[in-house]
Structure 1
């Protein structure tokens, strides 16, 4: 099994898609699962852009070949990040727009998570200083 993730940068832009970064390719990754079915990615904390709660997109594929060829997707979803952690990260340099955007949102008003987020809300441990680990169990 293989997982593919993508997320926005701290300004809320997606590489390859948003103006100014359409020729750049970053904050995207592919990992093969270990023998326990787990994957690990290292990244930055995503920004909060208008209308969307802080999140990371993911797809699950049966194999690395399927993931890199963008075929045979098993699951597609998003991992939501908790508000208290988002608030702590957004209080640091570089996330000023995220503070405003998050203040205007809730998980209930987000256009994706509003239909239910209990199985998409990650458990997050760590600190701003040491970094955070977000964990989400995804049945496939």
Structure 2
């Protein structure tokens, strides 16, 4: 489960990267210097999603344990990218809600499976009774 103070995982790094419009505008706020920006550009020229991921990865490497969801929200906010900040905030809140709902959902699914299993057994019993009481075909016998 993602918490504001946890480090950004690889999956969320890719999700965040997809929501960055122009990583070069964000890079100074990530603390990337000119050499690092050039390195990111050259790392996978033409693949902008990969460049966005690499920019975030460099920020994570520079900041270590401080490269958290909360810290990235601050970066996006300072960069005046409200949509990105809101998206990352939603990743954290959504993960928390998903974790809380999962137990209730599992209980609901288990109840549904049990009810369907019972219904299938009843139908199977009913069909077996019909088959056993059906007249025997004299042509087939």
Give the TM-score taking structure 1 as reference length.
0.26
Compare CA radii of gyration and give the structure with the larger one.
2
- Of Structure 1 and Structure 2, the greater helix share is in 2
Give the TM-score taking structure 2 as reference length.
0.26
- Of Structure 1 and Structure 2, the greater strand share is in 1
